Amino acid sequence: MTSTVAIIGAGVIGAGWAARFLLNGWDVRVFDPDPSARDRVEKVLAAARLSLPGLGEVALPPEGRLSFPRLISEAVRGAGWVQESVPERIELKHKIIQAVQSCIEEGAILASSTSGFTATELQSNSSRPDQILVAHPFNPVYLLPLVEVVASDRTDPDLRDRAVMTLTDLGMAPLQVRAEVPAHIADRLLEAVWREALWLVKDGVATTGEIDDAIRMGFGLRWAQMGLFETYRIAGGDGGMAHFLHQFGPALKWPWSKLTDVPEMDDTLVATIAAQSDEQAGGRTIADLERQRDHNLVGLIRALGAQGWGAGAIQQAADERRMSGAGVPARFEDITDPATPVVTLHRAVPLDWIDYNGHMTEDRYLHAFGDASDRLMKLIGCDLDYVAAGKSFFTVESHIRHLKEVTAGAPLRIETRVIAAGGKKMHVWHEMKSGDRLLATAEHMLLHVDLETRRSAPLTPLLAERLATLVDAQAELDPPEGLSRAIGDPI
């Protein structure tokens, strides 16, 4: 059975809601009198189609149907959910709510994306306040899980529970806000940072870029995985949260920020926070939390590294500087002896390459071998400029033997031979070692391709010449043990 949602107001938030519902199999009706709304929804939807379906490890249901009815009544009639995301003016919201409620069924959920108004404020003047609540999401709505759910005591509790279930089914993390306060929870915290940040800019202490770096190179990374309190719990060490509070409580009395209204850190508040923090930790020790934090941070920074962004870009720049010290040739001229295998990778096993068996997982062997192939490509002249100019290599066939296990932090080194090359092909052989231990071998056939036609294309003269240099020089070596194996061959 397909469910139907009506999206009222298709700004960036409404369009984001439309995308999340649609990609989760809902039929979506968008109502927005703005003639540019349709374009905006299509644009957001295109971005969401690239990013949301692959966010998890399991396919989403087939997309629902998207329509743009001309009348609000057409949009909301029969819909099980109505999501209002119009501008933050209470009189406008009341008008919309009235129009919606004149057409929708009793059990339908009428949720508002408002950040500034409470459920009670939305409900005033409504004859059916029981179906109204706040479901405040965060941009981009199709990716970020947080949605603050605020009900008043006039909201039907069963309807609120159904709303929470539906949001959960959409892959979100509904946070039920206990009390109706202006701006709910997250935006109050954001507002506090925003004010302090404005003072820093106004006073010339820092630029917007510097403030953003102060966030994303430090506590922003922490906050992607643990919040303020759990982070401080760890900082308190084995003394726990109460210890942290007794140690840092006084900082509140210092004139550190311009924001001077400070709660009294009395015994009651310390006890409340310590008890809530204990419950939150769910029996995990500080050592458990530290280990988890490190795993998380490594995963986060490495994910940014793959994007060349933020903290990941910092790491990449450090890597560049370390290349020569690591004994990996950066240019073809750096290959001192073409008759011996070329070192194409020298790194350590990242924490996020370890699987449930406690060792480097199988696809990360190929990840490292793929990086080694990329390095070989760069050495012979197929670098990012070459790729940008329209040609590259694609791997068409791989054979990997996993010979030994390896664990986090251990060194990895790959030595590479070119078995044959010519025409449109390159046949390579990699050996991966950790110290003296041979961990794995990989044999690859790569095809030189034209990125325009996505078809194979002859090697350019420079590439052919450099590959021939390596093939000829290495032909003197014994053929590697395991070359041309098929699975099932006797060992």
At a CB cut-off of 8 Å and minimum separation 6, what does 312 contact? 301, 302, 303, 304, 305, 306
**Rounded Cα gap, residues 432 and 364, in angstroms:** 12
- Confirm or deny that 440 is annotated as ligand binding: no
Instruction: Return the number of the residue (144 or 473) whose C-beta is nearest a second copy.
Output: 144
CB of 77 to a second copy, least distance (A): 28
- Confirm or deny that 14 is annotated as ligand binding: yes
Instruction: Return the number of the residue (106 or 219) whose C-beta is nearest a second copy.
Output: 219
Instruction: Return the number of the residue (6 or 200) whose C-beta is nearest a second copy.
Output: 200
CB of 165 to a second copy, least distance (A): 11
- Confirm or deny that 107 is annotated as ligand binding: no
CB of 406 to a second copy, least distance (A): 11
Q: Name the DSSP class of 458.
A: P
> Hunting for tokens 């993390």 — which residue is that?
173
Q: Name the DSSP class of 337.
A: -
Q: Are 309 and 362 in contact (CB under 8 A)?
A: no
Dihedral pair phi/psi, residue 415, rounded to 5°: -115, 135
Q: Where are the beta strands (DSSP E) in 9-157?
A: 27-31, 66-67, 81-84, 109-112, 132-137, 146-150
CB of 102 to a second copy, least distance (A): 30
CB of 56 to a second copy, least distance (A): 4
Instruction: Return the number of the residue (106 or 355) whose C-beta is nearest a second copy.
Output: 355
CB of 471 to a second copy, least distance (A): 14
Sign (positive or negative) of CA dihedral 28, 32, 33, 37: negative
Instruction: Return the number of the residue (108 or 301) whose C-beta is nearest a second copy.
Output: 301
Give the helix ranges, DSSP H, for 61-178.
72-76, 90-101, 119-123, 157-169
Closest CA to 293 of 343, 223, 366, 397: 223
**Tokens coding 226:** 């643990």
Instruction: Return the number of the residue (336 or 357) whose C-beta is nearest a second copy.
Output: 357
Peptide bond into 140 cis (omega under 30): yes
- Confirm or deny that 13 is annotated as ligand binding: yes
- Confirm or deny that 9 is annotated as ligand binding: yes
Instruction: Return the number of the residue (92 or 348) whose C-beta is nearest a second copy.
Output: 348
Instruction: Return the number of the residue (69 or 249) whose C-beta is nearest a second copy.
Output: 249
Helices 228-235 and 286-307 meet at what angle, rounded to 10? 120
At a CB cut-off of 8 Å and minimum separation 6, what does 172 contact? 20, 137, 145, 146, 147
Q: For residue 375, how many other CB atoms are within 10 A of its CB?
A: 20
In Å, how far are 59, 60, 150, 193, 367 from 20, measured between CA atoms?
A: 14, 11, 20, 29, 32
CB of 302 to a second copy, least distance (A): 7
Q: Are 400 and 363 in contact (CB under 8 A)?
A: no
CB of 472 to a second copy, least distance (A): 19
At a CB cut-off of 8 Å and minimum separation 6, what does 472 contact? none
CB of 85 to a second copy, least distance (A): 13
Instruction: Return the number of the residue (144 or 457) whose C-beta is nearest a second copy.
Output: 144
- Confirm or deny that 240 is annotated as ligand binding: no
Binding residues for NAD(+): 9-14
Q: Which residues make up each annotated binding site?
A: 9-14
